[in-house]
A and B are shown apart, each in its own frame.
Chain A
Amino acid sequence: MTYEVVNSKVVRVQVSQANPVLARRGAMLGYSGQVAFRPVSGAAQGVGGMVGTMLAGESNKMMVAEGQGSVLYGFRGLYVTVIDLTGDSLVVEADRLLAHDAHLQTGVEMVGQGGVRSAVRGAMTGQGLFTTRVSGNGTVSVLSHGGTFPIQLNGETVGVDPQAYVAHTGALQVDLKASVGMRDLIGRGSGEAFQLHVSGHGTVYVQASEEKF
């Protein structure tokens, strides 16, 4: 196991020559061993081409940890969730990414379809309608307020408060719905009556807080 959950807010990652780790810049708490950190920005620089189109168009600054040793990662006291990927992909907002294996592929994609695009902007991220898709075989750790819990879906549909949505894996469709009738009940705190409708087969990770990320 290369990702060890130290406590609710910290993860210890084993870095090796064969397995460099990408992490949010500023999230390194400490390390032991021969580990070197290098900033990675956008698509211009890559870890031997591994990063590729990493986070193009997204403002998040990442860094790579290379060498041999173990690194403690945590960010601003946010909770950490470790998710293993076996060939499938994880969709998550870029600023929730704490650390992941550098050999995982990352790409940027849009959420929402057609008419809801403009609605998604702001409601979903507060800053844009892009999310990051991480795929391959490896491990990802994501950040949340107050910890996450997984909701397993086998063909059903679940409504999620956009502010509580963290990430999802599997073959899931995410649509933004405005429920006019329940304007005052849903989306508490934001004043908006939006809900994410998630359907298909997979797992949605929901945070135990409506605090905007």
Chain B
Amino acid sequence: MIDGIETPTWDANSLPADDNVNPYAFSIALAGEWFVSKGAMIAYYGNVEFAGVSQYASRASWVAARFSSPLYASEWVVAAGQGKVIVADRGYDVNSYDLDEGNLTIKQTNLLGFQTSLELKQSIVPGFVTLIGTGTFLASSNGPVIFVEPPFRADPDALLGWADCPSPSQHYDHHWMAQSFMAGIQGMFGRESGEERQYDFTGAGTILMQSSEQLRVDGALLKLVESQTNLLDAQSAGALGQRLVQRSQQQ
């Protein structure tokens, strides 16, 4: 029993098809292919093959067109075949969402799987990916998802995603900034990101929030940040390296 939820004993036939098994697990009725986040699969029935996205792309050329994010290619697998695949994430709530000729941007570490009819692209906002088209995707959240409408400002870490509205801009709370100015700014580096940094949403659309700022390590984020240091000249890159070494020694 989980929190008083009925947990009958399932078999291959009685498992839900394309529905939640309980709030924390979802059963995909697989007939063909799905993109699944590496590590999200907890169990499966049937004749299912899991292959890395890059590995699968060498066989099926359409994969490259659907999965346009080399950065995350190593974090995803293609589940192909017939059967049921159960996905879950750290006991977080798992929900399925349907996109209809729409687009939705979501935190990469919370996206668990999506139908191959959807296209995945990397968002300009680091750590986020955008799904475009028509189809179903699965996402996890710490606690149930909270939907809010702009104007709204979100803690970047608690932000799950957004749909049908413009990309957020950065907002720095002026009170907090004033306090920082008075205290003397030691540079943005080394200052723990507190509540002073927020994502500012404007326009029409929906913002998805989760209930905590607890983050999962996003391996791809490191690569992304690293690739962006190409913008720096050699001297700045050296200075950045020194600061990073300093910071890692402090922790």
Contacts and interface: CB of A to CB of B under 8 A. Distances in A.
Dominant SS at the A interface?
Answer: strand
A75 B146 contact: no
A39 B151 CA distance: 24
Interface in A1-39: 6-10, 25-26, 28-32, 36-39
Contacts of B155: 28-30
Given A7-B143, A8-B143, A37-B195, A29 B175 contact: no
Interface of B: 142-144, 146, 148, 151-155, 158-159, 173-176, 179, 194-196, 198, 207, 209, 211-214
Contact of B211 (A26, A28, A29, A32): A29
Contacts of B146: 6-7, 10, 72
Given A9-B143, A10-B211, A74-B158, A28 B195 contact: yes
A77 B144 CA distance: 10
Contacts of B209: 10, 29-30, 72
B158 A76 contact: no
Contacts of B214: 76-77
A10 B144 CA distance: 9
Count chain A CB atoms within 10 A of each CB in B155, B195, B211, B214 and give the residue with the most: B211
Interface in A74-107: 74-78
Contacts of A75: 212-213
A29 B142 contact: no
A74 B194 contact: no
A160 interface: no
